[in-house]
Amino acid sequence: MKIKRMISLLIAAVIAMYSGFYLNPGAQAASDAKLIALTFDDGPNTYTTPQVLDLLEEYDAHASFFLIGDKINADSAEVVKRAYEMGCEINSHSKTHSDMSEMTAEEIQAEMTYVDEYVYSIIGEYPRFFRPPYLSVSQVMYDAIDIPFITGFSSGDSKSDATAQAVADAVLTAAKDGAIILMHDFYGNDKTVEALKTILPELRSQGYEFVTVSELFERRGETPEHDICYSEVQKYPCDGYILSENLFTGAVSGDKDWSGWNDTILLDGEQLEALGDTYAIEVAYESTRPPVIVLHRWKSAEDNLWEAVQPAYYNGKKACFLAEDLRAVLDEYGMTYTDMNKIMLRTFVTEMTITKADLLVKDGTASLMGDVNLDGVFSIADAVAFQKWLLAIPEQELSCRQNGDLCPDSKLDILDLCLMKRKLCSGGNTE
């Protein structure tokens, strides 16, 4: 089985290389369409699953099915084959639907192998993704399972008291570009079938395209990472940005209780205030969860703010924070960046290592060389600010250091100041 699976994965990798499945993070997506991945757990069966397929077929929609091995038999295998031939994706949800976080590596592998082999015998391909039962994971599971993990936004359709309308409302509320929706096609789940009669036409009218999980990664130009559970596959938001300055390079590690986060990677509130909505923070990290930016204000027990802002994008290695998301939090509390005592990068839940943090600015914002205060013009005020900054005068910061690198040699020094003054004296021309 091991040899056969390795051969299958090798073939899949070669196909993917030519189909665009494994693209570099940040690559341009093939389409600007709104994408959503509907996924179904706990099948297959010959009652509910065919009804789901009928509706998907009616709306020309692809979806992904996460199968329980013990539910596959000769009859339900025909349903699986139909789903695959419709363009749907067949993935694994374990053999027995037991809590695998309590299992040994050998037990986990036995669960996975059973489903792998059964699926391969039906469609000639192995599952490409895994959804852990009860969404429960452990490091042993990550180490023992060689395909990426998928969670998703819950529709609530597994609750016994859920109604079809409640399920439809939950899905339509959770829907957004790149979202993975978690539903169930277990035997007798009529409410999900009824909910799909609302969900499919409504999302179609909103401009969504229904894709498989693999298609979602492919179209978003993302490679699924290991040791991370995906609920969505986001579009890289910073293609129109350029590097302004490096904020941190090295390696800093800690869990949510490590006090060192308070003083290690701090952001300059005055600088961010000056940049307005033209900046982004890009972070290289290692963790099963993304980093956060914490806005911290402390005046008294009654006047205290500690708000964690989630990244607009993360892929298991890189996270991006957009100015508009930080500004939204500040506006909610009627505050500014300069009201904060600290603005810091850190983990929120799990152990994390951060190796790099960069300040990016929108391309065009920093295009005027010499304009270090980002007021849209290059003037003597920029040279004065630059000189004060070189002299390390307290409180003097540069809104865009990238614009001060006139040399250019990726560092700011007296040579850049001389070129800046020469440019001013020659009417803005350094030639």
- Tell me, what's the pLDDT at 410? 61
What is the C-alpha separation between 119 and 123, in angstroms, rounded?
A: 6
Instruction: Report the catalytic residues.
Output: 41, 184
Q: Which residue has the tokens 């899905």?
A: 171
% of the chain at pLDDT higher than 70: 88
Strands 208-210 and 179-184: unpaired
Burial class for 36, CB neighbours closer than 10 Å (0-12, 13-18, 19+): buried
Q: Check if the beta carbon of residue 189 is closer than 8 Å to that of residue 227.
A: no
Helix (H) or strand (E) holding 173: helix 164-174
- Tell me, what's the pLDDT at 24? 37
Task: List, for residues 154-178, the tens digit of each pLDDT value.
Answer: 999 999 999 999 999 999 999 999 9
**By C-alpha distance, which of 89, 173, 159, 74 is closest to 123?**
89
**pLDDT beyond 70 at 272:** yes
**pLDDT beyond 90 at 315:** no
- For residue 209, give Cα distances in angstroms to 28, 183, 292: 18, 17, 30
Higher pLDDT, 55 or 225: 55
**pLDDT beyond 80 at 27:** no
Q: Check if the beta carbon of residue 287 is closer than 8 Å to that of residue 226.
A: no
Higher pLDDT, 216 or 412: 216
The amino acid that residue 302 corresponds to is: E
Q: Check if the beta carbon of residue 364 is closer than 8 Å to that of residue 242.
A: no
**pLDDT beyond 50 at 25:** no
Task: List, for residues 147-156, the tens digit of each pLDDT value.
Answer: 999 999 999 9
Phi, psi of 2 (to 5 degrees): -60, -45
Residues in the chain: 431
What is the C-alpha separation between 31 and 49, in angstroms, rounded?
A: 30
**Average per-residue pLDDT for the chain:** 88
**pLDDT beyond 60 at 367:** no
- Tell me, what's the pLDDT at 28? 39
* CA atoms within 13 Å, Cβ hemisphere of 286: 7
Domains of the chain, CATH where assigned? 2-230 (3.20.20.370), 241-362 (2.60.120.1070), 380-425 (no CATH)
Task: List, for residues 69-115, the tens digit of each pLDDT value.
Answer: 999 999 999 999 999 999 999 999 999 999 999 999 999 999 999 99
**By C-alpha distance, which of 234, 258, 229 is closest to 348?**
258
* CA atoms within 13 Å, Cβ hemisphere of 52: 31
**pLDDT beyond 60 at 4:** no
